[in-house]
Structure 1
Amino acid sequence: MDFVILLVLMLVSGLFAMAEISIVSSRKVRLEQMAADGHRGASSALYLASHPMVFLSTIQIGITVIGILAGVFGEKRLAAHVGQWLEPLVEAAPTRELIASALIVVAVTYLTLVLGELAPKRIGLHHAERIAAALAPPMNLLARVASPLVKLLTASTDLVVRAVGIRGGKTEEVTEEEVRILIEQATRAGVFTTAEEELLKSAFRLADRDVQMLMTPRTEVDWIDLESPPEEQLRRVAGSRHSRFPVGRGSLDNIEGVLVAKDILHESIEGQEWDAAALMQKPLLVPEGTSALRFLELLKAERGGLAMVIDEYGGVAGLVSLADVLEALVGELPGIDEPDEGMAVQRADGSWLIDGLMPIDQFKELFDLAALPDEAQYVTAAGFVMHELGRLPRAADRVEFESYEIEVVDMDGKRVDKVLVQPVLEPQGGEPGDSQPT
């Protein structure tokens, strides 16, 4: 009977340990879902999780009291029984009592670790939310019953914590990096496919971008000049793959509207005279520092398909469209008559052929670069190369950064079209400065 009582005390201690680990390790989102479905135990678990000092003090009171009772009971009651069993083996009473006490301490410690700590905590980790919802109501009731002692322990703990320089205040519960790690873990577990993981990562990256990193630069924009003849305007529309065209007067900086290609083609097919100024729509103008998500909001409000990006001097820096946002999420979308060339192509020798217009955040992520010098001064890989050279690049120019060599392999006028990125081979042996690979 005495052993049964001791076993019950250990099991109760195990319930406290199981409640502690299950509530601490429970996912708050799942508990909130259970609470929304009417599970009262989940609501209690959420309350305890949001008041950790009250909860932990209650758990510690229960475990400590049971530990003391188990120790006293085991020492006083079970040691006597073990001592009687040892009488035929050990004649000296003091020695017999010492051995009995040692055996009881070892046995109680072992059972406490297995039944009162390790096994309950492992079970609590495997079924955290379900067990937390089941054990939270009695733990909450115990916290109310022991409220005076809980408050005393909480206040005492706060005093000690402040004495070592730790102040109150909650840290951010969920960070973006933690969400990224959860997505990676879910992909490894098969919850997400690789394509879904890449799409989610792209969505996070999009939230950190502005339109300057998404736009088609001014030099690449197809636009219609109101001062050109209608025949020239029509040829420009017919020879382009785009469906919308910025309209300017003499210069793209004098932006006056946006023309939809089908409006011109409809008028031409009907044999009617058409006027670009009469057909164009009001342009949407956004500063170059506008975030990508804000741009999407403006695009939905204006019901347009593109916007002109305006720099700090009032000139047109480029054009950004809904297609640019889509490409930021899913990657390059080549036209029907365009080759399928991505922003980055890895070659057989391990080097990378990079498009000069690759956004700098993608460039950093691809080569695992923590930071780049004066990063606010450029938004593309080409801009980084130009910054490092300190002049207009030429084909075959090279720069080195950290463990990479970046070579300009193709120029499009004054713009860097392609760069080749490859690891720098470190010298092995020989004199310092000898970079010939061995």
Structure 2
Amino acid sequence: MVAGGTLSLILIGVFLVFSAFFSSSEAAFLSLQRTRIAYLVSTGIPGAKRVADMIGQPERLLSTILLGNNLMNVAFTSVVTVSAIEFVGESNRGQGVAIATVVSTVALLLAGEIVPKTIAVRNSERVAFLYAQPLKWTEYLLLPFVVFLQWITRGLNAMLGGSGPESSITEGEFRSLIDIGESEGTFKPSEAEMLEKVFQFGDRHVREVMTPRVEMVSINEGSNFREFLDIYAQNTHTRFPVFTDTVDDITGVISAKDLLNKMANEGVDYDASATDVQREAYFVPETKRVSELFDELRQS
């Protein structure tokens, strides 16, 4: 009887420890930042590649953790129930079950969930690296069940219209990282301001970055090389709008590079028309966002 009670206590302790292991594993891996792990992989930190591969297969990882956790919880509850019934006697079976329910609930909630998960979240990287190999062993041990659960999960996800993998980091998260980096001294204020302006620039409208009409340097259609070179020598621009009657009537764009190539290949005729090599102008509404314009220019 004593030996049986000792064995039950040992099993209860073992199952509770494993329950805490799986619970803390779940919290640790779900708290990891993909960008941080990718950085650790790139720097060759031992174990980083294994962790990166595991979080890259979330269905398999969660199937392994949750299956193991539920098995441990069921085993823990079963042993506690049997031990409680033996303690109060078979004649008080109902009382034993009630005691087991209370003890199991409190023990699993505190020692199997809240405490280990709190510790794991605060030390997610360290816990994940420490638990990665044992979790892989568990995955191999439960592989048929893990694969089945993974298959079911993917099927339900597709059936319910689940989306594909999300972006590793959003613009909002990146901006938050910049703020944190500035507050912790990783970025200088000037560097943080520059990075913030990168995002702000894409959100701006074209009219905010366009050259004002009164500052625009343009060339009259039919101007010769001598007239173009005079204008080019006085400005740092490499492209010039070409107009006919007024600057509001733009017919194309002339590139200094195109003209210089023509002069190098065909010789210099200062009286020849410089606007013969003009390219078609690309007209953009002033309300278009700068980020959208960049996408269009990359594709053109």
Please indicate the TM-score interval, normalised by the length of the shorter structure.
0.5 to 0.7
For residue 102 of structure 2, what is the amino acid of its counterpart? Answer: V
1:221 deviates by 2.9
Which SS does the other structure have where 2:136 is aligned?
A: helix
Q: Hey, what does 1:134 align to over in structure 2?
A: 130
Tell me if structure 2 keeps the 8 A contact 1:10–1:70.
yes
**Matched position secondary structure for 2:200:** helix
Which whole-Å deviations, capped at 9, do the CAs of 1:222-274 have from their partners, x for residues lacking one?
668898xx9xxx9x99xx9x766969798655889799xxxxxxxxxxxxxxx
Offset from partner CA, 1:92-139 (integer Å, 9 cap, x none) = x744x5444433332222121112111111122112222212212221
**Residue among 54, 73, 77 paired with 2:79:** 73
- For 1:218, the equivalent position in structure 2 comes to 213
Structure in which a larger fraction of residues adopt helix: 2
Map 1:14-25 to 2 at 5 A.
Answer: 14-25=20-31
Change (3 A) 1:149 1:286: same
Code of the aligned partner of 1:205: Q
Match of 1:90 in 2: none
Structure 2: stretches of 5+ with no match in the other structure? 1-5, 257-269, 285-291
Aligned equivalents of 1:203 and 1:255: distance in 2?
30
Tell me how many residue pairs correspond in the alignment: 265
Letter of the aligned partner of 1:106 in structure 2? V
Return the TM-score normalized by structure 1.
Answer: 0.48
Q: Give TM-score, length-normalised by structure 2.
A: 0.67
The residue number in structure 1 matching 2:161 is 167
Per-residue CA deviation, residues 203-238 of structure 1 (Å, 9 max, x unaligned), is: 1232355765412122333668898xx9xxx9x99x
Cα deviation digits, residues 23-73 of structure 1 (max 9, x gap): 122111221222233345322222221212211111122111111211111
SS of residue in 1 equivalent to 2:47: helix
Aligned pairs (5 A) from 1:16-415? 16-81=22-87, 83=88, 94-95=91-92, 97-161=93-157, 165-174=159-168, 175-184=170-179, 186-187=181-182, 191-192=186-187, 195-208=190-203, 213-221=208-216, 287-289=282-284, 291=293
Is the alpha carbon distance of 1:155 and 1:172 closer, same or farther for their aligned partners in structure 2, counting shifts above 3 Å? closer
Q: Distance in 1 between matches of 2:18 and 2:78?
A: 16
Instruction: Work out the percentage of aligned pairs sharing the same amino acid.
Output: 22
Q: Per-residue deviation at 1:284? A: 9.4
CA distance in 1, matches of 2:201, 2:244: 34
Partners of 2:63 and 2:278 in 1: how far apart? 63
Q: Deviations over 1:297-322 (max 9, x none)?
A: xxxxxxxxxxxxxxxxxxxxxxxxxx
CA displacement, residues 365-420 of structure 1 (integer Å, 9 cap, x when unaligned):
xxxxxxxxxxxxxxxxxxxxxxxxxxxxxxxxxxxxxxxxxxxxxxxxxxxxxxxx
Mapped to 1, the partners of 2:104 and 2:241 lie a distance apart of: 86
Distance in 2, matches of 1:46 and 1:111, equals 32
Q: Is the 8 A contact 1:22 1:132 kept in 2?
A: yes
Q: Counterpart of 1:144 in 2: which secondary structure? A: helix
Q: Supply the distance in 2 between the matched residues of 1:207 and 1:15 (Cα, whole angstroms).
A: 46
CA drift at 1:186: 4.7
Shift of 1:15: 1.0
**Residue 76 (structure 1) shift:** 1.4
Q: CA deviation at 1:3?
A: 2.9
Give the alignment's Cα RMSD to 1 decimal.
Answer: 4.5
Counterpart residue type for residue 215 of structure 1: M
Q: Which has the higher strand share?
A: 1
Q: Give the CA deviation at 1:74.
A: 0.9
Give, in whole Å, the separation in 2 of the partners of 1:214 and 1:220. 13
